[in-house]
Amino acid sequence: GQNIDQPTEMTATEGAIVQINCTYQTSGFNGLFWYQQHAGEAPTFLSYNVLDGLEEKGRFSSFLSRSKGYSYLLLKELQMKDSASYLCAPRRNNYGQNFVFGPGTRLSVLP
């Protein structure tokens, strides 16, 4: 099985930087995905890490430490439109529930 933990809610100010953490325990680890979900909409893909280290993509970066079972999503220069839920999804390399999402972190960006 899998055990995925994220903070439930976070608040930050427009223009600031926020880090959303995710810890996980899973067997057969095969990469970690981050998705963004606005209220009432479908999740959309943000980033993917399979090796340790930082992957940067514009204002969003994602970090992975496989030995610690830890990842974070870093959002810079926050904008109001970044208010959404952010879902962490470690993937397994076998067929059983190989794409299970964490509970999600609801981020509110304030002016």
The residues of the shown chain that bind other proteins, judged by CB under 8 A, are 30-31, 33, 37, 41-45, 48, 50, 87, 91, 93, 95-104
Whole-number minimum distance, CB 73 to other proteins, in Å?
Answer: 16
Q: What b/e readout covers 67-101, taking b as 16+ CB neighbours within 10 angstroms?
A: eebebbbbbeebeeebbbbbbbbbbbeeeeeeebb
Whole-number minimum distance, CB 18 to other proteins, in Å?
Answer: 19
| 15 vs 99, beta carbon nearer other proteins | 99
Query: Do the Cβ atoms of 14 and 109 come closer than 8 Å?
Result: yes
| 13 vs 93, beta carbon nearer other proteins | 93
| 18 vs 87, beta carbon nearer other proteins | 87
Query: Do the Cβ atoms of 61 and 73 come closer than 8 Å?
Result: yes
Query: Do the Cβ atoms of 32 and 55 come closer than 8 Å?
Result: no
| 30 vs 65, beta carbon nearer other proteins | 30
65: enclosing H helix or E strand: strand 60-65
Whole-number minimum distance, CB 106 to other proteins, in Å?
Answer: 9
Whole-number minimum distance, CB 50 to other proteins, in Å?
Answer: 7
